[in-house]
Structure 1
Amino acid sequence: MRADARKNRDHLLAVAGAVITEQGVDASLRDIARKADVGLATLIRHFPTREALFEALLRTSFDELTEKAGDLEEASSPDEALVSWLRDFVAVAHNYRGVVALMVAAIEDAGSALHASCVTMRASGARLLARAQAEGLARTDIDGADLFALGGSLAWLSDQPSLAPRADHLFDVVVSAILTKQDQ
């Protein structure tokens, strides 16, 4: 990709990220293009579908979560690694309002542009959970899909104005329900 095209694409992603953070996943593509000072055709040339735009925005965050899980597996105790990863997962999912529904749909749809990144990211959390379970530090009646659902639920709570003030407390409640040992 030419340097100017890469610069334009990066600018579109930065503006789209800001708009979606503010307005949620239903933000108008026309509004994103307008705020980026480009025509809708330019946005569509770079991102032919809404899903392609979300895939470009989210893939980096999901890949970073996957990489962080690998780092945590080597550097942290199993329970600390799990809690740290879950906190970051919730933050990423909350960063783009409404993205939880897209993530859930992408995991179920192998044809989705987000499918591979979501599945890999969820699997990294599942590995951290399994490691904590193997050490007797996490309950054994949940799996990676449950952890993903709990994290998504916590992110959704943060999106609700009347519940957002309780989000940190509820994160701690969920973590205490997952861990069998209270060293967090």
Structure 2
Amino acid sequence: MTADGQGAERTARPRRADARRNQRTLLDAAAAVFVRSGVDAPVRDIAAEAGVGTGTVYRHFPTRADLVVAVYRHQIEACAEAGPALLESCPTPYEALGRWVDLFADFLVTKHGLAAVLNSDDPGFQALHASFLDRLAPVCGRLLAAAEEAGEIGPGLEAYTLMRGVGNLCVGAESDDRYDARRMVRLLVAGLRQPR
């Protein structure tokens, strides 16, 4: 180690990166278990999915509320990061918008029990809805603006309106096997397209 302490910094950084990776692994595992079994799934199922002991889950997330909030925020961030990536990789802004709305719908449909969580009196849960809108509305707005500028959709649709419409189409979809929310959402997005 050098006299200025740089060796200690080099040693500490990989541990922080490992800790972040481990936390992402836990959040991905918890999200997968929540999709299958709801937010009340046993912690041992989440630990098994992540390949760790239950103590590791509790070390990162001491309460179920901590875990649910962290998973929700993690999923919001993944959806937010997908928007710019899709604009870069898709052939047209309209296709990027459609693929992002699919991801957004999947996020809404597969979050068993989160509606109840969002209505909770817990202050950590109350902040989720505001965080959700603050992070995702600008991403949706950017996608809409790009598709509008390309002449692929008509003018004037606000991100909040589209997100609310998608959300309404997804309500209750997780508890009704006969209802295909994703198909309805795709029909909504198809209706945005300007005729050529």
When the two structures are superposed, what TM-score results if normalisation uses the length of structure 2?
0.64
Q: Which residue of 2 aligns with 1:179?
A: 193
Cα offset, 1:87, TM superposition: 0.7
Stretch deviating more after TM superposition (96-105 or 127-136): 96-105
Q: What is the percentage of aligned positions where both structures have the same residue?
A: 27
Q: Which residue of 1 aligns with 2:168?
A: 153
Cα offset, 1:124, TM superposition: 0.4
Q: Which residue of 2 aligns with 1:59?
A: 73
Is this contact kept in 2: 1:81–1:128, CA < 8 A? yes
Classify 1:127/1:35 alpha carbon distance in 2 versus 1 (closer, same or farther; 3 Å). closer
Q: Which residue of 2 aligns with 1:46?
A: 60
The unaligned stretches of length 5 or more in structure 1 are none
Look up the equivalent residue of 2:77 and give its one-letter code: D
Cα offset, 1:94, TM superposition: 2.2
1:24 corresponds to which of 25, 35, 38 = 38
Cα offset, 1:103, TM superposition: 6.9
Q: Which residue of 1 aligns with 2:147?
A: 132
Q: Which residue of 1 aligns with 2:6?
A: none
Cα offset, 1:62, TM superposition: 2.3
Classify 1:139/1:132 alpha carbon distance in 2 versus 1 (closer, same or farther; 3 Å). same
Look up the equivalent residue of 1:16 and give its one-letter code: A
For the residues of structure 2 that align with 1:6 and 1:79, how far apart are their CA atoms?
Answer: 34
Give the secondary structure class of the aligned counterpart of 2:155.
coil
For the residues of structure 2 that align with 1:14 and 1:52, how far apart are their CA atoms?
Answer: 15
Classify 1:33/1:176 alpha carbon distance in 2 versus 1 (closer, same or farther; 3 Å). same
When the two structures are superposed, what TM-score results if normalisation uses the length of structure 1?
0.68
Q: Which residue of 1 aligns with 2:183?
A: 169
Between the two proteins, the alignment pairs up a number of residues equal to 173
- Please say which structure displays the higher CA radius of gyration: 2
Cα offset, 1:117, TM superposition: 5.5
Classify 1:120/1:102 alpha carbon distance in 2 versus 1 (closer, same or farther; 3 Å). farther
Is this contact kept in 1: 2:117–2:125, CA < 8 A? no
Is this contact kept in 2: 1:15–1:32, CA < 8 A? no
The unaligned stretches of length 5 or more in structure 2 are 1-14, 48-52
Look up the equivalent residue of 2:54 and give its one-letter code: V
Give the secondary structure class of the aligned counterpart of 1:85.
helix
